[in-house]
């Protein structure tokens, strides 16, 4: 879609269901950076990659060792790899182009969510959020794990250190079970939410909490996600409130800026010091909630440009999507089918929302565009009703006088640059030296052969209608007559006249064929006489009178 010709007065959010995708039972979805490919995890352990331009399946990733439901999918920065987490406690890294499995790691707990490191084109680190344990950094090459801190107490001496052992928990579960964690834009800092409603800014390389931001509701944080540009952080809590925080740290080298803030704070109490640093990292920007129904929210996220915030209703049997602008105003409620919503994603570039229902269907929401010709031609005037028009004297001349007087401001001798590619602000962090995967080569599927039963039935009907009662049928019988219903459909060509493979019929088959030819048929009108003329001639040669036969018919 060409963005410059879109009418800005129509809004940049979807309105209606344009289409739906169906393949098995899909559970979770994720777009690549450009929005050209959509990955969907299924309940049978497979990952389907859709070409979002053609709405067709581009590739299917299936691990024979995994048959459990997929819990999350995540693309690498340039789209060459996909990380898939499953309910069988596994993390699988795939090569998208070749469709080959790179590594497979098994954790002690089921990972509800897994995210690849966003700062690398070929990442080997990922952030996993297990079902009932602390989030952890997983090295996919070695399988080693580093547990991240989930709470801050006085005994931590201000460093918020994680439990010392790696690859295993000291007592099986951490003191607080966070529900979400995410990298910042370039992956040098991890933001963790815990059951006390606190957001921890964690240095994952040293497994230390460097800052803390308490939320106003002090409720369990279920979701935490950054906008694409890294300027805003979204949290979804158990108090039925979505909160937007403005990120005060720079997108790049956020950890260095965090160290500088810690040196400027002179608080002696370690917990208060972390809170003071946290107040300089994040500041509350907006809160979203439904004050009437007080519903819980499902899979909230930002739009591609960060101007809109969406959240799905967590009520059973409802497929509602709420859309707010960043100022906090509710602008639209999208109502879908009577199916619960389990996942949401906004297209990185276009005003398109993709939602997953409990039945496994993926719905595509798009704008309902209306014709507005003035958006294409500024000098076009729309008329509400007919108006009488008086033409100018030279309006229909080959060269109007007004055109002769008017001078063109365009220099026709200037060269037009068709080589330089304008940089898209939505992908300002792209490295031009890296080749980004936007599309997958199409793999043609073989034609499905026709069912043999249908071929046999059609060929037998064709022979019955053309050769029944004709002396040519007797001549065709020794050559492998088509009346042999048990023969292969490959014996005849498409026209039924030239045989590709001959088969001699049995004696019983010849007797049945002869009886059918001699059996008189019930005629209908004059045409029946013509059809049975050959039968009459044959009986006459055997001593019967043709008139008797005709009298018998009539």
pLDDT at 396: 77
DSSP string, 234-252: EEEETTS-EEEEEE-S-SS
Q: Give the domain ranges of the chain.
A: 16-149+174-366
DSSP string, 362-431: EEEEE------GGGT-TT----SS-------TTTTSSS-HHHHH----S-TTSPP--SPPPPPGGGTT--
Whether pTM exceeds 0.75:
no
DSSP string, 62-117: E-TT--SPEEEEEE-TTSSEEEEEETTSEEEEEETTTTEEEEEEE-SS-EEEEEE-
CA angle, residues 288, 291, 292, in degrees to nearest 5:
140
pLDDT at 382: 78
- Nearest CA among 25, 21, 121, 129 for reference residue 72: 129
- Nearest CA among 33, 36, 63 for reference residue 49: 36
Which residues in the chain show pLDDT less than 50? 1-9, 154-158, 160-176, 454-503, 521-522, 524-536, 538-554
pLDDT at 319: 96
Return the CATH architecture of domain 16-149+174-366.
7 Propeller (2.130)
Q: Residue 161's beta-bridge partner residues? A: 208
Q: What are the helix and strand counts (H, E) for the chain?
A: 9, 28
pLDDT at 524: 46
pLDDT at 393: 80
């Amino acid at each position: 879609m060409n963005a410059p010709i879109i009418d800005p007065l129509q809004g940049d959010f979807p309105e209606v269901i344009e289409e739906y995708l169906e393949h098995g039972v899909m559970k979770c979805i994720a777009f690549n950076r450009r929005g050209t490919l959509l990955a969907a995890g299924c309940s049978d352990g497979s990952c389907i990659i859709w070409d979002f331009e053609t709405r067709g399946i581009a590739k299917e990733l299936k691990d024979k060792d995994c048959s459990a439901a997929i819990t999350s999918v995540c693309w690498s920065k340039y789209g060459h790899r996909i990380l898939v987490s499953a309910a069988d406690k596994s993390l699988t890294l795939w090569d998208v182009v070749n469709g080959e499995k790179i590594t497979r790691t098994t954790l002690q707990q089921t990972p509800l969510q897994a995210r690849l490191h966003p700062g690398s084109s070929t990442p080997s680190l990922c952030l996993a959020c297990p079902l009932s344990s602390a989030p952890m950094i997983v090295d996919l090459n070695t399988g080693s794990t580093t547990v991240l801190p989930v709470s801050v107490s006085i005994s931590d001496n201000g460093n918020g250190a994680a439990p010392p052992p790696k690859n295993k928990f000291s007592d099986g579960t951490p003191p607080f079970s966070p529900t979400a964690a995410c990298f910042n834009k370039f992956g040098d800092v991890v933001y963790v939410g815990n059951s006390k409603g606190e957001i921890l800014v964690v240095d994952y390389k040293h497994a230390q909490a460097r800052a803390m931001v308490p939320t106003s509701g002090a409720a369990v944080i279920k979701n935490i996600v950054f906008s694409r540009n890294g300027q805003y952080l979204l949290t979804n809590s158990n108090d039925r409130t979505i909160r937007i925080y403005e990120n005060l740290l720079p997108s790049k080298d956020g950890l260095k800026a965090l160290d500088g803030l810690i040196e400027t704070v002179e608080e002696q109490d370690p917990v208060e010091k972390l809170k003071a640093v946290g107040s300089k990292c994040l500041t509350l920007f907006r809160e979203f909630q439904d004050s009437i129904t007080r519903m819980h929210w499902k899979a909230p996220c930002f739009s591609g440009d960060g101007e809109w915030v969406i959240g799905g209703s967590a009520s059973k049997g409802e497929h509602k999507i709420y859309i707010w602008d960043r100022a906090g105003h509710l602008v639209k409620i999208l109502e879908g089918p009577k199916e619960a919503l389990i996942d949401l994603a906004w297209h990185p570039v276009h005003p398109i929302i993709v939602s997953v229902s409990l039945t496994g269907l993926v719905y595509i929401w798009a704008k309902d565009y209306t014709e507005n010709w003035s958006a294409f031609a500024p000098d076009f005037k729309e008329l509400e009703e007919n108006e009488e028009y008086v033409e100018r004297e030279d309006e229909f001349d080959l060269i109007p006088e007004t055109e002769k007087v008017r001078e063109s401001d365009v220099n026709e001798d200037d060269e037009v640059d068709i080589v330089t590619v304008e940089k898209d602000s939505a992908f300002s962090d792209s490295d031009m030296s890296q080749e980004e995967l936007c599309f997958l080569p199409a793999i043609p599927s073989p034609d499905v052969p026709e069912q043999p039963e249908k071929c046999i039935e059609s060929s037998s009907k064709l022979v019955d209608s053309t050769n029944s009662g004709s002396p040519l049928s007797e001549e065709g019988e020794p050559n492998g007559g088509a009346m042999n219903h048990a023969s292969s459909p490959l014996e005849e060509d498409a026209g039924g006249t030239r045989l590709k493979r001959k088969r001699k019929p049995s004696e019983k088959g010849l007797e049945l064929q002869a009886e059918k030819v001699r059996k008189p048929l019930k005629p209908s009108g004059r045409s029946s006489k013509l059809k049975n003329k050959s039968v009459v001639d044959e009986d006459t040669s055997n001593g019967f009178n043709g008139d008797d036969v005709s009298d018998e018919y009539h």
